[in-house]
Amino acid sequence: MAFKLYYWDGIQGRGEFIRLALEDAGADYIDVARMSGKGGGTDTMLEIMGSRSEAEIPFAPPFLQDGDLVISHVANILFYLGPKLGLAPQQDRLRYRANGLQLTITDFVAEVHDTHHPISTSLYYEDQKTEAKARSAAFIKDRIPKFLGYFERVLQQNPFGASHMVGNSLSYVDLSLFQIIEGLTYAFPNAMRDHERQYPGQAALHASVRSRPNIAGYLSSPRRLAFNEDGIFRHYSELDAVR
């Protein structure tokens, strides 16, 4: 039975972290909101979220359905999918380590979102541009180096080698860090210009993930939605570092 992924149509967003894992593993899955016809579309997703009778209702997408099991939140979904897809360490200690790293990525993604919506998600970007400029400047100066510096140390200090974030083989955390670099490069190209020099471990990991056959095929397919200014990673030139 195919996994069912529920996320907003038209954007990569948080759903992309799940898609990358499913695509790399060659898993059979349905991107429900992008489907047309019976059982598909955004209305189907909203109906599940708005249920007045089901015990397991997610607050927001993404969420995953596997049979009658519904799992919400990116890190929670990947913690579940990792062992099933061969994208998680076998040792419990390392699996918890992977989950902690994914939760740190979740924190980082929230800060990325707040660069363009620092006041309220109910306001348009144009209604908070002044605040967004201040937030983005601080994000570029302080938060990008803090998070990417940490991830670089994790790579370099991995006792199994600096090729992966945790353990001795590719995990969903590696795929998620790939997406972080992809998104930051789109949103803040000036700020990320020296990324490869500053963080060589991440640059090598990014190149390694991009060259994986299933990922390369996915990235060149129509299933990979383009970055746009409706998603989490948005490019506004006025928010990027000045060069």
Q: 138 and 80, same structural domain?
A: no
The answer to whether 162 and 201 have CB atoms below 8 angstroms apart is: yes
**What's the domain count of the chain?**
2
Give the span between the Cα atoms of 109 and 147, in whole angstroms. Answer: 11
pLDDT tens for residues 47-67? Answer: 999 999 988 899 999 999 999
Same domain assignment for residues 217 and 104? yes
Under the banding of pLDDT at 50, 70 and 90, the label for residue 39 is confident
Domain endpoint, select from 36, 62, 85: 85
Same domain, yes or no: 200 and 229 = yes
Q: In CATH, what number is assigned to the domain containing residue 144? A: 1.20.1050.10
Shared-domain flag, residues 189 and 209: yes
DSSP letters of 141-204? IIIHHHHHHHHHHHHHT-TT-TTSSSSSS--HHHHHHHHHHHHHHHH-TTTTTTHHHH-HHHHH
* pLDDT tens digits, one per residue of 75-102: 999 999 999 999 999 999 999 999 999 9
For residues 111 and 217, state if they share a domain: yes
Q: Which domain holds residue 228?
A: 92-239
Examine the domain organization and report whether 229 and 159 are in the same domain: yes
| Domain end marker among 42, 64, 85 | 85
The model's confidence at residue 243, banded by pLDDT at 50, 70 and 90, is low
Residue 4 near residue 32, CB atoms below 8 Å: yes
Check whether residue 181 and residue 222 sit in a common domain: yes
Task: Determine if the pTM surpasses 0.75.
Answer: yes
45 and 8 belong to one structural domain = yes
Cβ atoms of residues 183 and 227 within 8 Å = yes
Domain boundary among 85, 108, 134: 85
Tokens 């109910």 found at:
122
Same domain, residue pair 50 and 143: no
Distances 236 to 83, 102, 116, 134 between C-alpha atoms, Å? 38, 27, 9, 13
The pLDDT value recorded for residue 158 is: 96
My answer on whether 100 and 154 are in the same domain is yes
* Coil, helix or strand at residue 103: helix
pLDDT score, position 239? 97
223-229 contacts: CB < 8 A, separation 24 or more?
223/19, 223/23, 223/31, 224/12, 225/10, 225/11, 225/12, 225/16, 227/12, 227/182, 227/183, 227/186, 227/187, 228/10, 228/11, 229/125
Residues 97 and 68 in one domain: no
Question: If you count them, how many residues does the chain have?
Answer: 243
Query: From the CA atom positions of the chain, what is the Rg in Å?
Result: 18
- 120 and 211 inside one domain: yes
CATH of residue 36's domain is 3.40.30.10
